[in-house]
Amino acid sequence: MIDGAVSTVFFETTGEQHLRLVGGVSALERRIREVAKQGVTRVVVAAREVELVRPAPIEVEFVAPGTAAPEGARVERADVVAGIELVDDEATSAAEWKVIRTMNKSFEGVVDALINWRFSMRITRWLSHRSLAVTPNHVTICAIVLGTIGGLLVMNGHYWGLAVGGVLIQVNNILDSVDGELARLRFQYSKIGQWLDNLSDDIVDNLFIAACGVVIGGPWMWLGIGAAAGRVFTSVVTYLDVYARTGTGDVFAFRYWFESDKQTADEVYDPKQISTWLRSLGRRDTFTFFWMIACLANFPYFVVAHGLIISSSTVGLLILHFTVFRKRRIVER
């Protein structure tokens, strides 16, 4: 026992059902990682030994079917996923979809929650059935390419370029959900993937804002470029702060001075708080959707104006943020 929790789980199996793939990963591997998150340090599997696709995060021991469970071990089924026993293909499909529906972030934005998941999770499910060689990073790179093409099309000066560019920025946004969903579904996390995912958003969004300014021309061109530059400044400062504190590129780990007491992203993006809804205007899933609508309506001015408002607001907040912390340090001395 560890702090009152069970340290060993004994997995019973029926035939080969525990080897059925659920989201590209066998039920057994999924269950092993599930109990590992609960604090379990060892699992004993009553089945023939198989090679796991990915190294298990805890100790795994295979014993002959019919072997009694170790004393003190919690007995569970290895062929039951998301509460569904994998008796056939239909049950496996139902369990898979149920698992995939939990792959969204708990603090997702409004458009992600209402619209994007209906596309992203179906794409994620389809990709999960492909080879493990198709990784979340490949999805991110594909999203960057499509988003970049969208920005370049906007600058051709024709309505069709603006409209198609707007649609592509929304497709890029959906794929931005897919890479994370696929990583969580198939346990394909990586620090490189985290950095690539965040940097890709900045590259595509800033290009798109600048492109809309260029296609409008006149002073709007400089406003678009200025908005993009302000966003670049904000991103660099945010990344440096987060990396210094956490050693990662997780921008959701950034906390303004008035959020310093909040430990998790769920606390920062609490849907019960008005600030969360106001903040959603600056969340990517929300603004890229409205960018698409603006482009389809042949109104790129909205993209530049929105980019300028968000850019100036975040730059101002960052300056105030570090001013407050500097004053705090002086007082503490």
pLDDT, tens only, 173-205: 999 999 999 999 999 888 888 888 888 999 999
Instruction: Say if residue 31 is in the same domain as residue 78.
Output: yes
Instruction: Say if residue 165 is in the same domain as residue 298.
Output: yes
1 domain residue, yes or no: no
Element (H, E) at 62: strand 59-63
- Which residues are within 8 A (CB) of 38 and not within 5 positions of it... i.e. 6 or more apart? 5
pLDDT in tens, 129-141: 988 888 999 999 9
pLDDT reading at 29 higher than 80: yes
pLDDT reading at 3 higher than 80: no
User: Residue 162 belongs to a domain with what CATH number?
Assistant: 1.20.120.1760
- State the burial class of residue 331 (Cβ atoms within 10 Å of its Cβ: 0-12, 13-18, 19+): exposed
Mean pLDDT of the chain: 90
What φ, ψ does residue 270 adopt, rounded to 5°?
-65, 115
pLDDT in tens, 255-276: 887 776 666 666 666 666 766 6
pLDDT of residue 2: 43
**How does residue 101 score in pLDDT terms, banded at 50, 70 and 90?**
very high
pLDDT of residue 1: 45
pLDDT of residue 331: 63
Looking at the structure of the chain, the number of domains it has is: 2
pLDDT of residue 262: 64
Contact 281, 287 (CB under 8 A): yes
Q: Which of 82, 100, 118 is the endpoint of a domain?
A: 100
pLDDT in tens, 31-57: 999 999 999 999 999 999 999 888 899
> How many CB atoms neighbour CB 32 within 10 A?
24
3 domain residue, yes or no: no
Instruction: Say if residue 74 is in the same domain as residue 196.
Output: no
Instruction: Assign 266 to helix, strand or coil.
Output: helix
pLDDT of residue 269: 66
Range of the domain at 46: 8-100
* Rounded mean pLDDT, 97-105: 92
pLDDT of residue 271: 63
Contact 37, 96 (CB under 8 A): no
pLDDT of residue 113: 86
Residues in the chain: 333
Residue type, 129: H
pLDDT of residue 281: 65
Q: Which of 53, 81, 100 is the endpoint of a domain?
A: 100
Alpha helical stretches, state H, 2-42? 27-37
User: In degrees, to the nearest 5, what angle opens at C-alpha 209 toward C-alphas 205 and 214?
Assistant: 140
Percent of residues, the chain, with pLDDT higher than 70: 90
* Rounded mean pLDDT, 234-249: 88
105 domain residue, yes or no: no
Instruction: Say if residue 302 is in the same domain as residue 194.
Output: yes
Instruction: Say if residue 276 is in the same domain as residue 218.
Output: yes
- State the burial class of residue 244 (Cβ atoms within 10 Å of its Cβ: 0-12, 13-18, 19+): exposed
Contact 206, 228 (CB under 8 A): yes
